[in-house]
Amino acid sequence: MKSICLIFLLVLIPLSSQALEMTGPDNGKSVSISLSEKLSVTLLGNPTTGYRWDLAEINRGVLNTNTDVAFAADSSMPGAGGKFTFLFTAVQLGTTRIKLIYHRPWEKNVQPVQTFDVTVSVIAAEQLKTAFYQSSDGKVIEATFDLKLNQVLINLPDGRKVLLPAAVSGSGARYSDGTDTFWEHQGVGRFFKGESLLFKGAVLRTINQNSVGR
């Protein structure tokens, strides 16, 4: 496919050791990680109401997880909500569903008020390629190309993450969801919001990968 052909012309470096982070807006998505890589899921909730997030479905042969979910309150005020965080580690090649439910555990035969459902593929490291691009004003974005699912995960300078599927491209590698677009052509990465160009930068040949997390 044309959208993939130029990926191998990039100067690619290994994935960061930091965990791939997923949050509420990622519900319903599919992602890939490599063996031994970590994946975190952070969701909003308020345990003082009796509700909590629990793991309802996973293949533990593919992703290992500590059953203890971490909770961090947003403030010290009584009744404050906060964030539940689950951490997973890829232990075997394969695909699994992660289904989390927000419920009151003691209420039987009651549908959860919220669900979070994603599909995670654990694939060989060579099927995940990462490149960093730097603009003329020093801003950096990170693009992780998933050659299995034919998509790219973009980490923007403001910390926002965008997961984009491959799109038809007359030249270069183009990924778009109809609103956000990433286009790589001849070693230059461009990120658009609609028709507006928000970022343009050249691929970096060397970088300390720990300085820009996935």
Q: What is the pLDDT of residues 82-126, one digit of tens each?
A: 999 999 999 999 999 999 999 999 999 999 999 999 999 999 988
User: What pTM value is reported for the model?
Assistant: 0.75
Query: Helix, strand or coil for residue 211?
Result: helix
Q: What is the pLDDT of residues 202-211, one digit of tens each?
A: 998 433 333 3
The pLDDT of 5-11, averaged and rounded, is 35
Q: What is the pLDDT of residues 137-150, one digit of tens each?
A: 999 999 989 989 99
* Rounded CA separation 74/86 (Å): 17
Q: Cα dihedral sign for 26, 30, 34, 35?
A: positive
**Environment class of residue 122 by beta-carbon count within 10 Å: exposed (0-12), middle (13-18) or buried (19+)?**
buried
Q: What is the pLDDT of residues 35-72, one digit of tens each?
A: 989 999 999 999 999 999 999 999 999 999 976 789 99
> What are the structural domains of the chain?
2-16+125-211 (2.40.128.200), 22-73+80-123 (2.60.40.2020)
**Environment class of residue 14 by beta-carbon count within 10 Å: exposed (0-12), middle (13-18) or buried (19+)?**
exposed
**Environment class of residue 113 by beta-carbon count within 10 Å: exposed (0-12), middle (13-18) or buried (19+)?**
exposed
Residue 76: per-residue pLDDT? 86
pLDDT-derived band at 152, boundaries 50, 70, 90: very high
**pLDDT value at 14 more than 60:** no
* Rounded CA separation 37/49 (Å): 34
Q: Which helix (H) or strand (E) holds 4?
A: helix 2-5
